[in-house]
Structure 1
Amino acid sequence: MVDAASGVIFSVGQLNRAVGRLLASEFPQVWVRGEISNFTQAASGHWYFSIKDEAAAVRAVMFRNRARLVGLTPRPGEQFEFRATVTLYEPRGDYQLQVDAMRRAGLGNLHEQFLRLKEQLTAEGLFDSGRKREPVAMPRAVGIVTSLAAAALRDVLTTLRRRAPHVRVVIYPSPVQGAEAASGLLAALEAAGTRGEVDTILLVRGGGSLEDLWCFNDERVVRAVAASPLPVISGVGHETDVTLADFAADVRAATPTAAAELCCRSRSRCLAQLQALARNLHALQTRHLQMASLRLDRAAAMLVSPGQRLAQRRQSLASLQQRLLRLMRQPAQGRGRLEVLAGRLRQASPDLQDRRLQVQRLSGDLQRLLEHRLQRQRARLSTLAQMLEALNPEGVLERGYALVWDAEGRVVRSMGQVRPGQALELQFSDGRVRAQAGGRESDTR
């Protein structure tokens, strides 16, 4: 430390930093016992509060990542033991405690057990959200695991009678506090799971201290809740109370009353849904009847009555009788017509022998015509082959002529396409040679 005699003058910031370093070196970590006051949980999740006793108070902060491990939300007036580092908030020059762990005063061992067991079961995946089940929305019966003398039981029964009087309730009694509570809870949970008489289990108890609620932190109870064959809704304590059974349950309710509200749909909601379904069914039936009525009307319009159909048949029969009478009166005319038709049939009958001779004659004519045409086509093909051979450029080259190509591969057809010194390529019948154009000479012939 530099004193005033040295002549060094500190700025306020320098002084606060020096004091902060001194506090950090002298008090690296301490345990402080006191009462919570002025507790505030910020939107960031950090806790800000004061720790006081009858003689003094000190400000404290607990950051979010540490606060999440506490497992409960402290209330003003409660006594705790805090593990903290003494720090100085330099902008104001106030010293404060930076808390990294806390436990109820007098129950420190229990709280440490709570944190260790929570960490162990979390690592095992016992609290994973993926293993949570949805309770049955319309249970036939609900089981309640609690003490027969608990106020929470009365609250749950009152809520169920009001919201869902149609749901049957089965109570599995068990102590919820004391040395025998954990064994009783295990037996009640096992009975509810094996009897198969309910669809959902409510595990409920009123609020209390960590020691009062400790049976719900018993490892055997927590594992039994997680392994229950039926969905479990935990409603232990008040909203700020947290137990390991809450983490293991399929649904965690803030209070026993809230657990009763979450276990099934209310009677009023069911009636409203039934009324809506009834309205939809009535509308569907009305539309169905309307469509059936329309189809019936169309079918009735197309239907002919038996009397009308009989009248039509009688009229048709009378018409046929009249035609028969007319034919019976004209037998000679009918025989004459029959003879005419027989003559026409004889004339139309073919002479098969004559037709065979005609087919043979036509086949011979066709064969001769095809041979004559084939000879003509062969002669024409030979003539065209000779013409093609005469026009073959390779034949011309064999007679001493040559084709001239420029550098771009185009055929040179006249002297005007050639410039002096231009590269040319000459094609003979047996190959090509490169050449270079000299001077031009006009044809003097």
Structure 2
Amino acid sequence: MNERELDLWQTEVARQNAAVEGPPEPWTVSGLTKKIRFLLEGNIGEVWVIGEVSNLRIPSSGHCYFTLKDETAVINAVFFRTEAEKLDFPLKDGLSIVVRAFLTVYESRGQYQLRVVEARKKGAGSLLEKFEELKRKLAQEGLFDLSRKKKLPLFPEKIGIVTSLKGAVIQDFSRILQRRAPGITIYIRDVRVQGNGAAQEIAKAIEEFGELGLVDILVVARGGGSLEDLWAFNEEIVARALFRCPIPTVSAVGHETDFTIADLVADVRAPTPSAAAEIVSRDWEEWRQELEHLELRMHRFSLQYLEIWKERLEKIKKSSSLAEPSRYVGLLRQNADMLEQALEKAVSLALERARTKYTELELRLKSFNPQLVLERVREELKLWAARLASVSPQVVLDRGYSMTFDRQGRVLKEAEKVSRGEQIVVVLSKGSLWAAVEKTQQEKERSSFEWK
């Protein structure tokens, strides 16, 4: 018996024993996860992996969390701060790197991941970096501005689609349009949607649709795929063709999670080609239901409107104005007379108010007669002149008083300020005296004058 036959025999024996002894002890989730971690770490351990950084997150802890990916697979990775600080270049999405890491399991989530201990820069030029570079360039030129986006027509009759006839896109698109809006005509331009020369064919088809102007809406569509598969729709030539197209455009490239430059430039982005078919067409059954609803509303409104006018006509028929026209005319004449009297009264009152206002203004104007104002001013000036004259020094001198000055021209008010023999000037009402002091007398001695 060889080794394989022995193994099969032992397995069969174990199965029979298990049938007799009952089911084995079940694993706990944590126990099984630990077992898987031990197997991975023990059997694989340290590895070197090359890939493109994606979904990079660096929280406040400083640890780096990201995924490494290539064309067909992704794997989670963690780069703890102590090792990450040794890098001589910053990590960023789209960067191709080579890492030395240990394969392990993050038990809390049951996910296997790489614990990176060393990273080396593989080099720039990845597709994602090219995507971001072109995206920034076109955004600066205004190709993504919402203000230039064209609205889709509500009732398109002709729709153009740029896609490959080899895929399922055109079948799904046509089937949905046939179901929702069978009257719409579809114009198809078969192009390559991936590989060398695909971008040039797509751009040329867009330009030709724009030049011919045969369709109301132009759809650029492709099924899902990797970033490399969809790259033709990230080429600058396609973006500029969409930007120049005079027809409203819809980009329906890939699946809902895929995003291309064409999605940003087109007037409308559809998550999938099937969704694009629904966006560009309104279900005719919905239109029928809405038209039926509108028809019913119009019918009800018309009936209500007619009923209202019937009631109005009945009231008019029963009104006294039609039963007794002369009485109605009499009421109108009476109202006219009343209005005429009210108008005359209002006019008279307005005229009376105007006369009163005129009289008031006339009196006010007379009170401001310039001649009267000048007379009042003259009288006031005379009064002030008399008041000033009454306090004039000359008037005091005319009453017999005099003013005495020393040789410096200062007014003398006290005898003690003057010395015997000092020269003084006495100003009288008419003329002045130059004299010398022979004797001085104080205030208390002024009761009598004695000449000696």
TM-score between the two structures when normalised by the length of structure 1:
0.48
TM-score between the two structures when normalised by the length of structure 2:
0.47
